[in-house]
Amino acid sequence: MQSKTTTVKDISVHYVEAGSGPETIVYSHGCLMSHRMFDDQSTALSSSARVIAFDHRCQGDSEKVQTEFALQDLVDDAAALISETCDSPIHFVGMSTGGFVGMRLALYKPKLLKSLALIDTSADHEAP
């Protein structure tokens, strides 16, 4: 897998990319995790698809920011990363916090997604 970074809203976002093919799968990890949680899936699927797994801001190898941020910032980061790196709608796989990001992408940026897979996440109302 090839390690890369891109700048989103003046923040360095780290991601890894592997494989090629007509479909692109983007993985979004859970809280306090990193792109590495999807290493096995990325390896298995990279023989037939392009696979991208990224680190949310302040996690993994992405930039540690000193300012407060909200879930919507993670959604905006993911949307910018997808828009910058992908020419067509992608298959988004989100685990836990990554699932929250995926649901909001589906709601606010549906044209970016071809499909959405949710793992160990919730659509419950969030606490204020």
Burial class of residue 89 in the structure, from the number of CB atoms within 10 Å of its CB (0-12 exposed, 13-18 middle, 19+ buried): middle
Average the pLDDT over 94-105 and give the result: 96
pLDDT confidence band for 128 (50 / 70 / 90): low
pTM over 0.85: yes
Going along the chain from its start, the domains and CATH numbers come out as: 2-119 (3.40.50.1820)
Of the candidates 54, 101, 95, 51, the residue with the CA atom closest to the CA atom of residue 76: 101
- Whether the per-residue pLDDT at 127 is higher than 70: the answer is no
Mean pLDDT of the chain: 93
Q: pLDDT tens digits for 44-60?
A: 999 999 999 999 999 88
Whether the CA torsion 67, 125, 96, 48 is positive or negative: it is: negative
